[in-house]
Amino acid sequence: MNVFPVILSAPSGGGKTTITHELLARRSDVGYSVSCTTRPPRADEVNGKDYYFLSTADFLERQQHGEFAESAAVHGHLYGTLRSEVARVLGDGRHVIMDIDVHGAAQFRAVFPESVLIYVLPPSGEVLLERLRRRQTETPETLKKRLVSALGELRAVPMFQYVVLNDELEQAVSNVSRIIDAEGLRRERLQNVERDVRRIIERLEKEMNDMN
């Protein structure tokens, strides 16, 4: 099976995390790379499952040693994806699926160029604002920071190979799943074409050598 990383990006409230969780629940060929962060765990979060919760010193040391495929400071905390985590999931024969921001996606693709980048687009600005306000965890200051971040995210959409509109969750999950299937078939087909071309070349070269 041809496995590869799948990156979902979206502004806060875009639904990328929900889609990721749905795909993990539905597909046995998809695995999650647990990220690292320096932010404190929330009440329902488990170390090693939701995140690896690191001290700032530990995070920076790992960063200096090149252990991260991507890392960034987000809303005052450090986040990163360990190369070893990605290798672990791929080594299990599963696609790695992650939800990270656009800057992380660009870094990650430089390390793993076979990655498939999918941008999850909210249906409108009004819907995005409503989703953020519905969380009831946003102060005016943090909401403003998320809106500034969202503008930067949206301007980076052209770097993504696919865009999925998250107007209706079930359809969005289905569309991302179809992209994974299509990419797998495309890459398998390309590998088969390369193999077939190589065999034809070898046969023709043998014939030419025999003629000489």
Closest C-alpha among 154, 77, 82 to residue 120 = 154
Domain 5-32+95-211, CATH class in plain words = alpha beta
Interval 12-49: pLDDT, tens? 778 899 999 999 999 999 999 999 999 999 999 999 98
Tell me what the mean pLDDT of segment 124-140 comes to. 74
Q: What is the mean pLDDT of the segment spanning 77-83? A: 95
Which two three-digit tokens encode residue 195? 């193999």
Look at the alpha carbons of 187, 35, 165, 172 in this order and tell me if their dihedral is positive or negative. Answer: positive
pLDDT confidence tier of residue 95, bands split at 50, 70 and 90:
very high
Instruction: Using the predicted structure, report yes or no on whether residue 107 has a pLDDT greater than 80.
Output: yes
How high is the mean pLDDT of the chain? 90
Percent of the chain residues topping a pLDDT of 90: 58
Cα distances (angstroms) measured from residue 156 to each of 19, 41, 104: 20, 29, 12
Residue 190 predicted with pLDDT over 80: no
The average pLDDT across 114-128 equals: 89
- Report which secondary-structure segment, H or E, holds 119: strand 116-121
Instruction: Tell which residue, 76, 94, 77, has the closest CA to residue 85.
Output: 94
Is it the case that residue 3 has pLDDT exceeding 90? Answer: yes
Name the residue ranges covered by the structural domains of the chain: 5-32+95-211
For residue 11, what pLDDT is reported? Answer: 84
> 23 CB contacts (<8 Å, ≥6 apart)?
30, 97, 173, 176, 177, 180
Summarize the confidence of residues 101-117 as an average pLDDT: 94
Q: How confident is the model at residue 138 (pLDDT cuts 50, 70, 90)?
A: low
Residue 28 CB burial class (10 angstroms; 0-12, 13-18, ≥19): exposed
Q: Are 124 and 21 in contact (CB under 8 A)?
A: no
> Which structure tokens are listed for 86?
């990605």
pLDDT value for 135: 64
Average pLDDT over residues 56-82: 94
Q: How confident is the model at residue 136 (pLDDT cuts 50, 70, 90)?
A: low
* pLDDT: which is higher, 6 or 148: 6
Six-digit token string for 110: 């430089």
Confidence of residue 111 (pLDDT cuts 50, 70, 90): very high
User: Which pLDDT score, from 0 to 100, does residue 149 have?
Assistant: 78
Question: Do the strands 77-82 and 68-74 form a parallel or antiparallel pair, or are they unpaired?
Answer: antiparallel
